[in-house]
């Protein structure tokens, strides 16, 4: 039975924790791996099947160079075959750094008296959003500390404010949030503000470690956090993003924990998470953790490739915590979303909020400091289509990642044309002359590739309309 604190509603049927520590440990300890098995499992994934825990463990325990290479090549092939070259772009926006928890790895922890606590005022928030819009952003993730200030009503109001800010051709079309787990009623209030994805990370699925690094506050309750997505689903939020903070415990355990979480949501709610995030521990002010589980670059690239194969139809998010070099490498393994031009200081985007920026309020360090314009230029140089597409969300097509993966022709008919249209908007409104040339050349090539598809003529018509100044066209 899960312990629910007094202020939260206890459901009639208590939600049951679904992580079995002994089971996961035995998969890691006892699963043997050989090259033949690895090849078969990769093929299963390429045939669009999610992998079992045991199959994932076989990939995790494959230590020979030949198998590791095959896993990385398999992930690349899956990305090429299934997702094509689109990369969705977003930006994080920090709303406030009040926090009641004490996570030993985070600079925002309650016990850190060195940082100044601050929540953006309405006017400051508007300036931040205007600034992001001026750079071309259309999709944001709002990040809230975990504190009683940030009630469901506060979160919903913030989301509404962000959607309301429009200037010139700029607007935010999808607001995702990263905020504390709520009870079911709280999630309902947030749902009604029309968020895109509700994102919350378990940090570590290993309960003992979880208790060691979450010293006090509501977050110390492992089960409350583990079952957050269940309550979100019960409240009607079916678009959720899960994640683990790699470096707190054995990376193999966390991969299996994530896969187990996906299985659980699919089994109970018939819909898996929309996205998986896999941030790696970065230095933070006042960080106090066991460094023996820090994940090396080699391990990190392996784990991204294995996750891609294990849950082939879940979106994968890579953030600017990673260096540009690592980001470029793992983009090939099936990452589908990255942030661009990120600033995680409160008030970090707007010139008018500069007075807030003199104090270091960052939660952790970013290692990719490229602007959105630079990220887009480099994506184009590498043949990727930067995309700001929000079409499914706005047309009420839910389960979009599953659809793009499983509905034949979905990507060619919808995702690729939509990516091209949002890229064209960006090129018209925000790009330098060099990026514009590069972008339209790429669009030309992609249209040739799509030429057998029936939408191409309509796509060309819509592209002409974008060039004439029309915005927000999609399929
Ligand atoms: Fe607070 Fe989140 Fe930082 Fe933990 S990780 S201290 S909950 S902001
Ligand atoms: Fe995602 Fe839907 Fe756009 Fe495809 S069409 S990129 S699934 S929002």
Distance of CA 4 to the CA centre of its chain: 28
Pairing of the two strands 139-144 and 385-387:
unpaired
Q: Choose among 205, 206, 201, 214: nearest CA to 243.
A: 201
- Give the contacts of 120 (CB within 8 A, at least 6 positions apart): 94, 95, 96, 128, 346, 347, 353
Tell the residue nearest (CA) to atom 6 of ligand 1: 109
Which stretch of 180-194, 203-217, 218-232, 445-459 has the lowest confidence by average pLDDT? 445-459
Q: Give the atom of ligand 1 at the shortest distance from the alpha carbon of 219.
A: 7
pLDDT at 363: 65
394: number of Cβ within 10 Å: 14
The CA distance from 321 to 292, in Å, is: 20
* pLDDT band (50, 70, 90) for residue 228: very high
Mean pLDDT of the region 407-422: 87
**pLDDT value at 14 more than 60:** no
Ligand 2: nearest atom to the Cα of 415? 4
How far apart CA 410 and CA 84 sit, in angstroms, is 12
Per-residue pLDDT tens digits for 260-302: 999 999 999 988 999 999 999 876 655 777 888 999 999 999 9
Token code pair at residue 266: 């699919």
Looking at the CA of 248, which ligand is closest?
A: 1
pLDDT at 111: 92
As a CATH number, domain 86-403 is 3.20.20.70
Residue with the bigger pLDDT between 343 and 390: it is 390
* pLDDT (0 to 100) of residue 370: 87
Residues in the chain: 475
Of the pLDDT bands very low, low, confident and very high (cuts 50, 70, 90), residue 165 is: very high
Query: pLDDT tens-digit profile of 26-61?
Result: 999 999 999 999 999 999 999 989 999 999 999 999
- CA dihedral sign of residues 162, 163, 169, 174: positive
Contacts of 214 (CB under 8 A, 6+ apart): 101, 102, 103, 104, 203, 220, 222
Lowest mean pLDDT of 91-95, 219-223, 275-279, 343-347, name the range.
Answer: 343-347
pLDDT at 132 over 60: yes
Residues in the ligand 2 pocket, defined by CB under 6 Å: 389-392, 400, 404, 414-415, 418
How sure is the predictor about 104, in pLDDT bands with cuts at 50, 70 and 90?
A: very high
Q: How far apart are alpha carbons 466 and 422 in whole angstroms?
A: 9
Q: Is 447 exposed, middle or buried (0-12, 13-18, 19+ CB in 10 A)?
A: middle
Q: Where are the domains of the chain?
A: 21-78, 86-403, 411-467
Query: Using CA atoms, how far apart are residues 441 and 208, in angstroms rounded to an integer?
Result: 53
**In the structure, which protein residues have their CB atom closer than 6 angstroms to any atom of ligand 1?**
99, 101, 103, 106, 108-109, 145-146, 219, 363
| Rounded Cα–Cα distance for residues 378 and 214 (Å) | 39
Ligand 2 atom closest to residue 387's alpha carbon, by position in its atom list: 6
Q: Which residue has the tokens 């540009």?
A: 324
In this predicted structure, the answer to whether residue 7 has a pLDDT above a threshold of 60 is: no
Q: Could you tell me the pLDDT band of residue 12, with boundaries at 50, 70 and 90?
A: very low
Q: 354 CB contacts (<8 Å, ≥6 apart)?
A: 347
Distance CA 346, CA 348 (A): 5
Alpha-carbon distance of 407 to 400, in angstroms, equals 10
Structure tokens at 141: 């993730």
Which residue lies with its CA nearest to atom 6 of ligand 2?
415
């Amino acid at each position: 039975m899960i312990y629910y604190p007094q202020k939260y509603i206890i459901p009639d049927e208590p939600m049951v924790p679904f992580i079995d520590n002994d089971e996961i440990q035995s998969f890691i300890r006892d699963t043997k791996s050989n090259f033949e098995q690895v090849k078969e499992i990769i093929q299963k994934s390429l045939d669009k099947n999610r992998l079992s825990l045991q199959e994932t463990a076989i990939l995790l325990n494959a230590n020979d160079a030949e198998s590791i290479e095959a896993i990385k090549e398999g992930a690349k092939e899956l990305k090429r075959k299934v997702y094509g070259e689109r990369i969705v772009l977003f930006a994080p926006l920090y709303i406030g750094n009040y926090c009641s928890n004490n996570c030993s790895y985070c600079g925002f922890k309650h016990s850190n008296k060195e940082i100044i606590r601050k929540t953006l005022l309405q006017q400051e928030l508007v300036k931040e959003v205007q600034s992001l819009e001026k750079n071309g952003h259309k999709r944001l993730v709002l990040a809230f500390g975990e504190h009683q200030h940030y009630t469901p009503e506060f979160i919903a109001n913030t989301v509404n404010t962000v959607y309301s800010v429009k200037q010139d051709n700029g607007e935010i079309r999808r607001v995702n949030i990263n905020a504390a787990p709520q009870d079911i009623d709280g999630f309902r209030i947030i749902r009604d503000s029309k968020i895109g994805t509700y994102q919350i990370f378990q940090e570590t699925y290993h309960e003992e470690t979880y208790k060691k690094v979450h010293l006090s506050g509501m977050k110390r309750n492992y089960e409350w956090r583990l079952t957050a997505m269940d309550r979100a689903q019960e409240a009607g939020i079916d678009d959720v993003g899960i994640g683990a903070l790699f470096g707190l415990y054995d990376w193999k355990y966390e991969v299996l924990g994530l896969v187990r979480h996906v299985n659980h949501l699919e089994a109970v709610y018939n819909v898996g998470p929309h996205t998986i995030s896999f941030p790696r521990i970065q230095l933070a002010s006042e960080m106090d953790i066991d460094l023996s589980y820090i994940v090396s670059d080699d391990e990190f690239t392996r784990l991204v490739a294995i996750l891609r194969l294990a849950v082939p139809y879940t979106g994968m998010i890579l953030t600017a915590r990673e260096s540009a070099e690592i980001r470029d490498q793992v983009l090939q393994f099936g990452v589908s979303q990255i942030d661009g031009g990120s600033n995680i200081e409160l008030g970090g985007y707007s010139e008018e909020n500069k007075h807030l920026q003199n104090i270091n309020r960052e939660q952790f360090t970013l290692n990719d400091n490229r602007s959105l314009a630079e990220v887009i230029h480099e994506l184009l140089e590498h043949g990727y289509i930067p995309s700001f597409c929000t079409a499914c969300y706005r047309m009420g097509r839910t389960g979009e990642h599953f659809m793009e993966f499983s509905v034949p022709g979905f990507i060619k008919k919808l995702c690729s044309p939509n990516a091209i249209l949002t890229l064209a908007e960006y090129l018209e409104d925000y790009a330098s002359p060099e990026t514009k040339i590069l972008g339209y050349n790429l669009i030309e090539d992609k249209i040739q590739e799509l030429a057998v598809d029936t939408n191409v003529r309509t796509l060309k018509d819509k592209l002409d309309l974008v060039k004439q100044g029309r915005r927000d066209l999609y399929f």
